[in-house]
Amino acid sequence: MAYAVPKLTDYSADVLDKSAADLRAALKQEVLSVQSPDQWKTFRDRWLARKNGIVTQVNDLWLKSAPKGAKKLAGQTVNDLKKDVEEAAEGLRKSWETGQTIQVAYLGAEVPAAALEAYARDKVGPVDISLPGIQRPIGAEHPVMKTSREMCAVFQRLGYSIAEGPVIETDYYNFEALNFPPNHPARDTQDTVFIAGQQSKPQRERLLLRTHTSPVQIRTMEKMRPPIRIVIPGTVHRNDPPDASHSPMFHQIEGLAVDTNITFGDLKGTLDHAMKEFFGSSVKTSFRPSFFPFTEPSAELYISCFICGGSGKRGKDPCRPCKQTGWIEILGCGMVDPNVFEFVKDHGYNPKKVSGFAFGMGADRVALLKYGVDDIQLFFSGDVRFLRQWA
Ligand code: DAH
């Protein structure tokens, strides 16, 4: 039963002493059972609340109601009790805040260790402002994102702006409007991951994971009239089993410039400049014929190997990144096929009036080369020991 203050009828020294001893016993028991700051507050209110705390009750029941002759003794008893209760509450609070065991003298007890631990758990003690602050690790830009951003920045300095588009794309934007006709074998090169359950839709509306960033060329031309110059960073997906140079999810950077009288010379000059900016001014470029459905003519851009300087050798050893050829394939490019402009001609792209060039490269591949990493999986395995190198 919780302690309750008794009414006194007899104010003799014996009765007062006995009553005071009962109260102190209850106080000691309650002080030692406090285990948390919340319990401390409850304790303080029960004993010291001005309105109906135990100390106030004692004052009312033992002192105010005492007959004249007993006032002096009752007053002294009540005052002593009040001091003890206050000291107990204060000692308890201090022991937690300082983290030191405080002797609460009259209790003949120390505040128990359990109470200290509970307090440390629930409440931070006094703040030592001379301690160094807590340094939280802030992470670092991922090498692929860094590469992509830096490559985009090269083109932004040439006046290009950034464009983006959805990763879940329709057949129309990923293929049809890029001059891959339905059932054309060129689609087979793209190892497409299709979204299930689309058969009831017309083919051009069926959803897939975009296999390249090229659909954003079409989406942007639908929104912006020529002239345009854009770079398009983003993730793409292909149904490739993961190995050292393949990942089913990877990153591309696409470019598109459309205006009147854009020529293959503009394409070569722009990309030559961009490669020198990005890889260093001693890098040479080489354009070799290729095929993409949405460009005509199409080319692959090679840069001279910046690792072996184009010799194909590193000392006596063969240079691996360029497979001893002295050249590294970096991207696909070409002049925008007029068939592509046909799909956006209502947006101001008359194939007879405008011309343009486009290019697309793998950001992960560029990052592998730039940082001399030999396994693309390292970029996506989330191993902090690897990623910390870019912090
Ligand atoms: N979209 C092509 C791919 O993923 C890369 C590419 C080649 C993009 C030529 C272009 C381009 O814009 O002109 O394989």
pLDDT digits (tens, 9 = 90+) for 283-338: 999 999 999 999 999 999 999 998 898 999 998 999 988 999 999 999 999 999 99
H helix or E strand, kind and range, residue 87: helix 71-98
| Residue at a domain's end among 124, 152, 185 | 124
Is 132 part of a structural domain of the chain? no
| Residues in CB range of 149: below 8 A, 6 or more apart | 141, 233
Instruction: Assess if residue 343 is contained within a domain.
Output: yes
Distance of alpha carbon 35 from its chain centroid, rounded? 38
Give the atom of ligand 1 at the shortest distance from the alpha carbon of 254. Answer: 12
Indicate if 82 and 228 belong to the same structural domain: no
Residues 39 and 70 in one domain: yes
Sort residue 290 into left (φ over 0), alpha (ψ -120 to 50) or beta.
Answer: beta
215 lines ligand 1 (CB under 6 A): no
Contact 238, 248 (CB under 8 A): yes
Q: How many CA atoms lie less than 13 Å away from 308 in the CB half-sphere?
A: 20
66 within some domain: yes
d(CA 75, CA 54): 15
The CA 247 to ligand 1 mean position distance, Å, reads 17
| 244 and 354, same domain (yes or no) | yes
Note whether 85 and 190 are same-domain residues. no
204 Cα to the center of ligand 1, angstroms: 20
- Residue 192: what pLDDT? 96
pLDDT at 32: 75
- Would 29 be classed as within a structural domain? yes
Instruction: Select from 71, 89, 124 the last residue of a domain.
Output: 124
Number of domains in the chain: 2
pLDDT attached to residue 166: 98
My answer on whether 161 and 266 are in the same domain is yes
Residue found under tokens 């260790």: 113
CA of 307 to the centre of ligand 1 (A): 25
Measured in Å, residue 69 CA sits from the centre of ligand 1 at 107
Range of the domain at 381: 143-390
pLDDT at 98 (0 to 100): 66
Residue 4 covered by a domain: no
What CA–CA distance (Å, rounded) separates 282 from 297?
Answer: 27
3-class state of residue 122 by DSSP: helix
> Is 134 within the bounds of a domain?
no
Question: Do 147 and 22 share a domain, yes or no?
Answer: no
* Cα-to-centroid distance, 150 and ligand 1 (Å): 19
Candidate from 209, 210, 254, 335 with most ligand 1 atoms within 8 A of CB, to mutate: 254
Q: What 3-state DSSP class applies to 235?
A: strand
DSSP secondary structure string, 33-71?
H--SHHHHHHHHHHHH-TTT-HHHHHIIIIIITS-GGGH
359: left (phi over 0), alpha (psi -120 to 50) or beta: beta
Same domain, 114 and 169: no
Q: Same domain, yes or no, for 27 and 148? A: no
Q: Are residues 302 and 153 in the same domain?
A: yes
19 and 148 housed in the same domain = no
Residue 341 backbone dihedrals phi, psi, to 5 degrees: -60, -30
Residues of the chain with pLDDT under 70: 95-127
* 326 plus 182 within the same structural domain: yes
* Best residue for ligand 1 mutational test, from 217, 218, 302, 333 (most atoms within 8 Å of Cβ): 333
Verify that 108 and 170 share a domain, yes or no. no
At 237 the three-state DSSP class reads strand
Query: Which tokens hold the place of 151?
Result: 């490559």
CA distances from 337 to 169, 180, 184, 215, 348 (A): 21, 11, 16, 14, 16
Residue type, 20: A
Tell me which amino acid residue 371 is. Y
5 falls within a domain: no
Q: Is residue 64 part of a domain?
A: yes
| Best probe residue, ligand 1, of 151, 188, 214 (max atoms within 8 Å of C-beta) | 214
The residue from 124, 156, 189 where one domain ends is 124
Task: Supply the CATH number for residue 364's domain.
Answer: 3.30.930.10
